[in-house]
Amino acid sequence: MRRTAGEIGSWFIARGLDHPADTLDGNTKLQKLLFFSWLIHKSKFDKSLFEDDFFAFPNGPVVEPVRFDYRYNYSSISHVPVPDFTEEEQETLFLTETIFGSLSAAKLAELSHNSTAWKKYNDIFIKEQRCGPKARKPKIPKDDLEEELLMIRTVLYAYDNMLEEEGTA
């Protein structure tokens, strides 16, 4: 089944992970959770969690339709029914929540700025001197995002080691 970022976002919103809700920080945090969940899913299962594209915004990778709906239509986006997810999708969502869910929007944005793909396309945006809220942000090709899989695998490896040390694995 092909998922949308909006469906994944509805799970994060239903769990209150866009805190503080209906704010710029809530939207930023949701965007970064979408980014990290996509990377986790691709890393663990070698497939996309959702088909929507990421764009290089100044605060990191963003799924534009979700950002727009969150900003301008929060009351309807926050009441979207959460779909039934596959076991793989649920594993990805819970891992994302566990590893990244307690971090602030600012910290998640900072972490996403380590993305080579985001830096590349954000630099293009800056060099072309696109500016202003209506300036079109460059799309980050999914192939370029795959460069980030080593980074996320390192995070997952560290998380698994922490669980083993705690005896909870």
Residue type, 139: K
Name the residue among 20, 13, 7, 4 with its Cα closest to residue 52. 4
Distance CA 20, CA 27 (A): 9
Confidence of residue 53 (pLDDT cuts 50, 70, 90): very high
Q: What global pTM score does this model have?
A: 0.92
Residue with tokens 């727009």: 68
Distance CA 102, CA 74 (A): 21
Residue 126 confidence (pLDDT) above 80: no
Query: What are 81-98's pLDDT values in tens digits?
Result: 899 999 999 999 999 999
Find the angle CA(83)-CA(13)-CA(87) to the nearest 5 degrees. 40
Mean of the pLDDT values across residues 136-159?
A: 92
Residue type, 104: S
Instruction: Please state the φ and ψ torsions of residue 140, each to the nearest 5 degrees.
Output: -95, 110
Instruction: Report percent pLDDT > 70 for the chain.
Output: 93
Residue 25 confidence (pLDDT) above 90: yes
Mean of the pLDDT values across residues 42-50?
A: 97
State residue 150's pLDDT score: 92
Give me the domain span that covers residue 83: 5-166
Name the residue among 54, 50, 49, 11 with its Cα closest to residue 31. 54
Average pLDDT in the chain: 92
Q: Looking at the 3D structure of the chain, how many domains does it have?
A: 1
